[in-house]
Amino acid sequence: MNIANLVAEKGSAIVPMPLQIKAGHLLYKAKRKAGIYKEFPEFVETTVPDVSTLAIDDIDVSNPFLFKQNRWESYFKRLRDERPVHFQKNSLFGPFWSITRYEDIMFVDKHHELFSSEPFIVIGAVPKELSLEMFIAMDPPKHDVQRQAVQGVVAPKNLKEMEGLIRSRTQEVLDSLPLDKPFDWVEKVSVELTARMLATLLDFPYEKRQKLVYWSDLAGGGAATTGGSNDTDELFRGMADMAKHFSQLWREKEAKTAAGESGGFDLISLLQSNDATKDLIDKPMEFLGNLALLIVGGNDTTRNSMSGGVLALNQFPDEFTKLKNDPSLIPNMVSEIIRWQTPLAHMRRIAKEDVELNGQTIKKGDKVVMWYASGNRDERAIDQPDQFIIDRKGARNHLSFGFGVHRCMGNRLAELQLRILWEELLARFGNIEVIAEPEHVQSNFVKGYSKMMVKLAAK
Amino acid sequence: MASITFIEHDGTEHAVEIEPGKSLMQTAIDNGVPGIDADCGGECACGTCHVIVEGKWISTTGSASEDELQMLDLTPERDDNSRLACQINTSEAMDGMVARLPEFQM
């Protein structure tokens, strides 16, 4: 057991949660000073070379500039064609296997008894002092118990209750947008809408909703974990602040319930009304882990699908016309957007035993990365995979939500948010024109946009 | 004809012909029965072809594997007679079987 967990379990009754994170931070700093932890090198951007100039063994798809410079398609196509199960032995994140074909990814994702999700699900490592306990990074049976406790918040029954609220909040945002004037779609629409959604799900103070975005971006954007630009110290500070706000929120809800108010349909109310989780706050790492998982899961993913859909329709203008002529295609288009964008590029596993896959032997203990972004463009499984086709047959059969026991819990919420967004967009605007090349996020995990300038035309 | 009846959550019935050997999921999809998503295409890996088999018919469908039970655990509308339709191989012996669809697939 690591120290942070020990402190958490033994001391949680007396030590406030944010202080526990701070204590972990001090320990982390001390270990770094003592040389136990190496400083993770900062990524310096260089031009990503043409993949045809590289030897197959030298291809390193963990390079976080592959997506940033939008060079990823040719890299993964070469791996799929020449070495679908590929070993990179020298990456900054250590040696790892890449699984790039649809069918092989399905195999790895389904076989949790062969491939463990522990200790974490992105390519890099998190320091032990910050190892929040999230069920996405747990194997059955522990995973199943924890997931069941929280999945009600995004279950379709609960979503039905929330649809009206999601729609009115979407309408507010869209009604505030300027016509015929350039603005950043990422900032004004994608980030704003997902922040509102997260605040709604958590019943988090609405005026502080940008904090949720900030924490989530921190948690998903570490240099050592995903090749992002955040350093670990910043991450510790952010998590301490998150701990403070979430424990406060928990206590306020508790007090309201004690005073006789009836509970809402938000996550914390649901946790407090479930016997398995009503004392979750006494297990800080689990408490924070579950909340962090929900905000990360509901942040970058939907945000980048909201931007990706607009970009796709600009790159495939005939599809935009098709959509305007037949808005009933929206639900199918939503699945196609999620495939085409694949907002989370990968999930990582560790082999629990030696496994033969597509002619290669993955050894017990090896790191295995399933590249959903590649599998969703696999010509062997998907017809014309680089084309964006809003009435594609079998559009739901994409990998973006993962398969097996870790399949995305919020998939229905994501689809609902995107469907509402496009219904409301089509009702208001005649065109959404992307007027400059978008800027892509630096990461090997989050496949998305940091800026996308657009101009709206009236209907 | 030997047939199976799917009943949607709102009560709409769909009687479809059994083609022995075809999965119950594929039988529903091929006959345009709404309410089954089958996101993974029959790999027992998504849980979106959840059906509730009526009464005594559950024994005719055979028993669920551990993988299937694990996927069923993820659905909030789970019932004692819950099955994933992609894991049921249809046969003439299922003539008259009734499978109810949940309100939502998840």
Q: Cβ contact (<8 Å) for A106 and B47? A: no
Which residue in the set A396, A397, A405 is minimally distant from B70, CB to CB?
A: A405
Give me the residue from A394, A404, A412 closest to B45, CB to CB: A404
| Residues 6+ positions from B36 with CB-CB distance below 8 Å | B25, B28, B29, B48, B49, B51, B85, B101, B105
Rounded Cα distance, A351 and B93, in Å: 42
Q: Judge whether B39 is closer than 8 Å to chain A, CB to CB.
A: yes
CATH number at residue A337: 1.10.630.10
The secondary element (H helix, E strand) that includes residue A449 is strand A449-451
pLDDT the model gives residue A231? 77
Q: What is the CA A445 to chain-centroid distance, rounded?
A: 8
Query: A407 to chain B: which residues are within 8 Å by CB?
Result: 45-47, 74
| 3 state DSSP class of A137 | helix
Helix, strand, coil tally for chain A in percent (to 5): 55, 10, 35
The edge-to-edge listing of strands for the beta sheet with A429-434 is A183-184, A453-458, A429-434
Integer Cα distance of A143 and A133 in angstroms: 10
- Of A50, A61, A60, which is closest to residue A372 (Cα–Cα)? A61
The residues, ordered by sequence, that sit 6+ positions from A79 with a Cβ below 8 Å of its Cβ are A59, A61, A86, A98, A100, A374
Dihedral sign, CA of A18, A21, A25, A31? positive
* Euclidean distance between CA atoms A418 and A414, whole angstroms: 6
Residue ranges of A 135-174 with Cβ closer than 8 A to chain B: 140, 144, 147-148, 151-152, 155-157
The answer to whether A36 and A308 have CB atoms below 8 angstroms apart is no
- Residue A188 per-residue DSSP state: I
CB proximity list for B61: less than 8 A, separation 6 or greater? B24, B53, B83, B88, B94, B97
pLDDT of B66 > 60? The answer is yes
Interface check for B11 against chain A (CB to CB < 8 A): the answer is no
pLDDT at position A14 is 56
Sheet holding A115-116, edge to edge: A85-88, A96-99, A367-371, A346-351, A115-116
Q: Are strands A360-362 and A346-351 parallel, antiparallel or unpaired?
A: unpaired
* Residue A143 exposed, middle or buried by CB count within 10 Å (0-12, 13-18, 19+): buried
B99: three-class secondary structure by DSSP = strand
- CB proximity B103 to A under 8 Å: yes
From the candidates A400, A401, A405, which should be mutated to test the interface with B, based on the most B CB atoms within 10 A?
A405
Contact between B83 and B25 under an 8 Å Cβ cutoff? The reply is no
C-alpha distance from A115 to closest chain B C-alpha (Å): 15
Domain ranges of chain B: 3-100
Whether the CB of B67 is below 8 Å from some CB of chain A: the reply is yes
pLDDT on residue A291: 86
- Residue A7's pLDDT is 47
Q: Which CATH class is domain B3-100?
A: alpha beta
Secondary structure, 3-state, B10-42: CCCEEEEECCCCCEHHHHHHHCCCCCCCCCCCC
Contact across the interface for A412 and B106, Cβ inside 8 Å? yes
CB-based contact B45 A106, cutoff 8 Å: yes
Q: Which amino acid is at A129?
A: E
Q: Nearest CA to CA, how far is A412 from chain B (Å)?
A: 7
| Dist CA B106 CA B103 (whole Å) | 10
| Interface predicted TM-score (ipTM) over 0.85 | yes
Q: What is the pLDDT of residues A125-148, one digit of tens each?
A: 887 777 778 899 999 998 988 888
Structural domain count of chain A: 1
* Minimum distance, in Å, between the CA of residue A289 and any CA atom of chain B: 19
- Crossing angle of the two packed helices A284-297 and A17-33, in degrees rounded to 10: 90
Q: Write out the two tokens for A22.
A: 């701070």
CB contacts, 8 Å: A109 with chain B: 45
Query: With contact defined as beta carbons under 8 Å apart, do B53 and A415 qualify?
Result: no
* A263 touching chain B per CB within 8 A: no
pTM: 0.93
Tell me the chain B residues in contact with residue A155 when contact means C-beta distances shorter than 8 Å: 76, 104, 106
Looking at the partner chain, which of A110, A144, A155 has a beta carbon nearest the beta carbon of B76? A155
CB contact under 8 A, A151 and B41: no
Q: Inspect the interface and report whether the beta carbons of A403 and B104 lie closer than 8 Å.
A: no
Predicted pLDDT at A330: 98
In angstroms, the CA A372 to CA A231 distance is 26
Q: Which parts of chain A have pLDDT scores under 70?
A: 1-15
Range of the domain at A119: 3-458
H/E stretch holding A164 reads helix A156-175
**Contact with chain A for residue B30, Cβ under 8 A:** no
